[in-house]
A = this chain, B = another copy of it.
Amino acid sequence: MKQVSIIGIGLIGGSFALDLKDYMSGVHIIGIDQNEAHLKEALELEIIDQIGDLDSLKTADLVVLAIPVNAAIKALPQVLELIADHTVVIDMGSTKEAICKAVATHPRRAQFLATHPIAGTEFSGPSAAIKGLFKNKTNIICEVEKTLPVLGEEMLALFKTMGMRLRFMPANDHDKHIAYVSHLSHISSFMLGKTVIDKEKNERNIFDMAGSGFESTVRLAKSSPDMWTPIFEQNKANIIETLTEYIQNLNQFKAYMEQDDFEAVYNEMKNTNHIKQILKGIA
């Protein structure tokens, strides 16, 4: 593998580029992005070797889609038209059903592998790229059976080299579960931030009172709306289900408090405490 074209050289695409350089000697990385400032920055930071355009896809061995999921489902069919017969294309989006559907009947479907590395931070852009971001992280692979084995295996070997754990599941299962363990957390965090900002907007210095606990729960509210709005749109049904259940649980907790049933309040917390054991598995 010699030429890799990365479409979207932000946090994820940029971090992937840094790891590629570490694990693949002689690789030549071409960056493609609508944001010219980001392209220049990525070149200066030596994340990419060259600024390119869609023409570069004709000679690419690997094409990486690391753009917001709405842009990805539009771009992928076009990308598949432009590539050579030996090229493999991967995406890295946080939703998998829509992108798999978008190319379900595409003649070059077998050259695409749908992936979702569970890695990232609340920051964005090439300056947020981190070497080793994917190490010890889980990469969820969907519809692996629809990818040409030789291409799929090459990618899975690459992910393992980068230190990722691999999980395989159908795209609709991915979207259902990820709504609970990722998308809901983001909404919870954004709305927590909103609630506090709305209340305390005239008393900005009140945030002196906030400690690390508050920071931890609202950290995700720093995330990029450009990235997250299309995710919420594509995973609408699953997210609405999680939100409904979350709001129900909050209403129940509030009702216990209103009824002065603090034994129930205690039990709600006690029963959730074993999240400790569950979280132990998360790096």
Chain A interface (Cβ within 8 Å of chain B)?
A: 118-122, 137-138, 140, 165, 167, 174, 177-178, 180-182, 184-200, 203-204, 206-223, 225-226, 228-230, 232-233, 236, 239-240, 242-247, 249-251, 253-254, 257-258, 260, 262, 265-276, 278-279, 281-283
Q: Tell which of A188, A204, A243, A274 has the most Cβ of chain B within 10 Å.
A: A188
Kindly list chain B residues whose C-beta atoms are within 8 Å of the C-beta of A195.
180, 184, 242, 245-246, 249
| Complex: A185 Cα to B216 Cα, angstroms | 9
Q: Which of B137, B209, B273 contacts A178 (CB 8 A)?
A: B209
Closest to A218 in B: B275
A264 to chain B, nearest CB (A): 10
Q: Report B-chain residues with C-beta under 8 Å of the C-beta of A226.
A: 266
A229 touches which of B174, B223, B254, B269 (Cβ 8 Å) = B269
Task: Specify which of A165, A182, A213 lies most central, judged by the most chain B CB atoms within 10 Å of its CB.
Answer: A213
